[in-house]
Amino acid sequence: MSLLVTGSIGIDTVETPHGRREDVIGGSAVYFSYAASFFTPVRLVGVVGDDCPRSLLKVFEGRDVDTRGLEIRTGSKTFRWHGSYVQDMNDAVTVEVDLNVLAERAPKIPQGFLDAKYVFLANTHPVLQQEMLASLDSPRLVVADTMNLWIQTEHKELCKLLGKIHGLVLNDGEVRLLTGEKNLITAARKVLKLGPRFVVIKKGEHGSLMCSDRGEFVLPAFPAEQVVDPTGAGDSFAGGMMGYLATQGTFSPSTLKRALAFGTVVASFTIADFSLAGLQAATRDQIDDRWHEFKQAMNF
Amino acid sequence: MSLLVTGSIGIDTVETPHGRREDVIGGSAVYFSYAASFFTPVRLVGVVGDDCPRSLLKVFEGRDVDTRGLEIRTGSKTFRWHGSYVQDMNDAVTVEVDLNVLAERAPKIPQGFLDAKYVFLANTHPVLQQEMLASLDSPRLVVADTMNLWIQTEHKELCKLLGKIHGLVLNDGEVRLLTGEKNLITAARKVLKLGPRFVVIKKGEHGSLMCSDRGEFVLPAFPAEQVVDPTGAGDSFAGGMMGYLATQGTFSPSTLKRALAFGTVVASFTIADFSLAGLQAATRDQIDDRWHEFKQAMNF
């Protein structure tokens, strides 16, 4: 089924204990789209400036990603992020960030995309997320991500958004900030009261936790010895999860569990190399094999 | 099968966001013994001073814990620990610690205990751990715990111990300190080269990781909303794990997995109340029910 994602497309510079990469492709929508396209066709909505090298945008060539919603805005500059994991592989230090085109008006969703049934609203201003959602015809499953900035500065708009979506994906620090609760299950239950039917909390190397009115589900991360660059792990996780869900047509607890496990596995490929290289080296067969390995390992 | 534990018995004062308890029973051997006794008879070896209220030592009444190895040393004072989890439920701040009798000679292992087949050497000086091990007849499975203090000050003796045991249980910070490796799987593999056949890394609320020459196994913590006092969680985990293993007679990967899951579940009862109260309120049936629930939840 059609899966639409709106989010950032960026040019990253990343430093980790394994090295440094300058001006590589990044951004939430990029990782999400690539990850989800292992499972289902993806419609990408995002905007870059005219400074963005065309070579960077070629990452989707040969992938089932419809880039008609990718706007190259003349006179604007592409979002840039420079992060370092040198001190802590679980927590990026932002060395520099230039919102650039992300601080301008949102990209337009193409007419042909408006009937999307599965929607992922990657992290951006909650007013923009609501606007994009309002422009869609009749989505069946809408999941959003957010970040500390909006939790702190746009709490009211964020709560309005939460009343309109089915699922929220965020990390442990964010859900604690959003709810004021330290215990993640208590925090997740508080979020459910704000609207979403399920909440997925990403805990990085410690895995993930899903909470719905049908109960909780916890999953460790895939045990990875080779962690080269954690950038995009969370967005790849969301992409794998949503990509799988879009092929299922049901959101039963067991489907959500399997989706979470696919997200976990896809993210394990992302972190094995810099930028998109880990995902680019992966195949759907490898993902399925690792998923079965993970499932087997969880079985006791 | 006979399971012997040597470790600390203490009088604790604990503060958490849920309250404060003064002069309650604690210590690694106490939590371990109580937890393991849900599964198998336990032989407890430890020492307290003559200041220890007899009421505290009554916790094992009605349990299958043989306390003939519990020495009440005249003229000595019991180990005391005062810890606070007020700032962080995952990391105790030690407000005060008095080793007292733990800084004196080790307790003697009773003659009738020397044929124990399963042995857990809870955290103490690695020279003492080696001495106790040397005095036993022919244990089939020896697992030890350790701590930062010995890793830093008694590295050589600790390495000698590692060459003599089958399993090591320690937390994530400790294994990183021991090996100098940040990645837990890399760290665990380094430990395996020092002797043990398996390593279990406890990650508190983030679960546990087992590494052996047969591969890795990761397990989240049991999703607990009610965390009142984390004291003794790690020792209860080890007790549940070893207690189950002592009933099995095999250390196959699947047996170790199930043992890890029992440890996880038993620890989830411990943290639900102060001191031993969580474990005291639990029954074996409840543990088995929660184990099956956990197994089911891990199944996707």
User: A74-110 pLDDT, tens per residue?
Assistant: 999 999 999 999 988 888 899 999 999 998 999 999 9
Nearest to B45 by CA among B71, B63, B25, B27: B71
Select the residue of B221, B225, B300 nearest A261 (Cβ to Cβ). Answer: B300
Q: How is residue B91 annotated by DSSP?
A: S
Nearest to B214 by CA among B197, B200, B201: B197
No. of helices (H) and no. of strands (E), chain B:
11, 13
Beta strands A208-212 and A215-219, pairing class = antiparallel
Q: What value does the mean pLDDT take over residues A262-285?
A: 97
Name the minimum distance, in Å, from the CA of A49 to any CA of chain B.
38
Q: What is the pLDDT of residue A23?
A: 97
**Side chain identity at B73, as an amino acid letter?**
R
Q: pLDDT per residue over A256-266, tens digit each? A: 999 999 999 99
Cβ contact (<8 Å) for B207 and A217?
A: no
Q: What value does the mean pLDDT take over residues A191-206?
A: 95
Cβ(A129)–Cβ(A144) under 8 Å? yes
- Interface size A-B, in CB pairs within 8 Å, comes to 73
Name the minimum distance, in Å, from the CA of B162 to any CA of chain A.
23
* Confidence category of residue A167, pLDDT binned at 50, 70, 90: very high
Name the minimum distance, in Å, from the CA of B242 to any CA of chain A.
16
Q: What is the pLDDT of residue A146?
A: 93
User: How far from B186 is each of A233, B80, B172, B182, B191, CA to CA, in Å?
Assistant: 20, 36, 12, 8, 9
Q: What is the pLDDT of residue B116?
A: 96
Q: What is the pLDDT of residue A91?
A: 83
Alpha helices, H only, chain A: 28-36, 54-57, 126-135, 148-153, 155-162, 172-179, 184-193, 233-246, 253-270, 277-280, 284-298
Q: What value does the mean pLDDT take over residues A270-288?
A: 97
Nearest to A176 by CA among A204, A202, A157: A202
Name the minimum distance, in Å, from the CA of B10 to any CA of chain A.
28
Nearest to B241 by CA among B132, B168, B175: B168
Cβ contact (<8 Å) for A216 and B223?
A: yes
Cβ contact (<8 Å) for A298 and B300?
A: yes
DSSP lists the bridge partners of residue A169 as A145, A200
Alpha helices, H only, chain B: 28-36, 54-57, 126-135, 148-153, 155-162, 172-179, 184-193, 233-246, 253-270, 277-280, 284-298
Give the separation between CA A84 and CA A229, rounded to whole angstroms: 10
Beta strands A3-6 and A118-121, pairing class = parallel
A214 CB-near residues (< 8 Å, 6+ apart): A253
Cβ contact (<8 Å) for B220 and A220?
A: yes
Q: Quick one: three-class SS letters along A257-275?
A: HHHHHHHHHHHHHHCCCCC
Select the residue of B206, B297, B298 nearest A203 (Cβ to Cβ). Answer: B206
Cβ contact (<8 Å) for A207 and B186?
A: no
Nearest to A264 by CA among B215, B264, B175, B220: B220
Q: What is the pLDDT of residue A89?
A: 86
Cβ(B85)–Cβ(B17) under 8 Å? yes
Give the separation between CA B81 and CA B94, rounded to whole angstroms: 7
Q: What backbone phi and psi angles, to 5 degrees, belong to A59? A: -60, -25
H or E stretch covering B43 = strand B42-49
Name the minimum distance, in Å, from the CA of A295 to any CA of chain B.
7
Select the residue of A186, A225, A254 nearest B186 (Cβ to Cβ). Answer: A225
Cβ(A15)–Cβ(A85) under 8 Å? yes
Q: How many CB atoms lie within 10 A of CB B157?
A: 16
Cβ contact (<8 Å) for A300 and B258?
A: yes
Q: What value does the mean pLDDT take over residues A200-217?
A: 92
Q: What is the pLDDT of residue B54?
A: 92
Q: In B, what residues contact A, Cβ < 8 A?
A: 89, 182-183, 185-186, 189, 203, 206-207, 209, 215-221, 223-225, 227, 254, 257-258, 260-261, 295, 297-300
Give the separation between CA B211 and CA B186, rounded to whole angstroms: 10
Q: What value does the mean pLDDT take over residues A144-150?
A: 92
Name the minimum distance, in Å, from the CA of B216 to any CA of chain A.
7
A76: which 2 tokens?
A: 């604007």
B68: which 2 tokens?
A: 């003939």
Task: Give the residue, A296 or A68, on which the prediction is more confident.
Answer: A68
Give the separation between CA A152 and CA A148, rounded to whole angstroms: 6
Select the residue of B203, B215, B220 nearest A219 (Cβ to Cβ). Answer: B220
Would you call B215 helix, strand, or coil by DSSP? strand
Note the Cα A101 to chain centre separation in Å.
Answer: 19
B83: which 2 tokens?
A: 């810890």
pLDDT higher than threshold 80 for residue A241:
yes
* Residues of chain B contacting residue A258, judged by C-beta atoms under 8 Å apart: 300
Cβ(A110)–Cβ(A134) under 8 Å? no
Cβ contact (<8 Å) for B295 and A300?
A: yes
Render each residue's pLDDT in chain B as its tens digit; 300 residues: 789 999 999 999 999 999 999 999 999 999 999 999 999 999 999 999 999 999 998 999 999 999 999 999 999 999 999 999 998 888 889 999 999 999 899 999 999 999 999 999 998 889 989 999 999 999 999 999 999 889 999 999 999 999 999 999 999 999 999 999 989 999 999 999 999 999 999 999 889 999 998 888 999 999 888 899 999 999 999 999 999 999 998 888 899 999 999 999 999 999 999 999 999 999 999 999 999 999 988 888
B283 CB-near residues (< 8 Å, 6+ apart): none
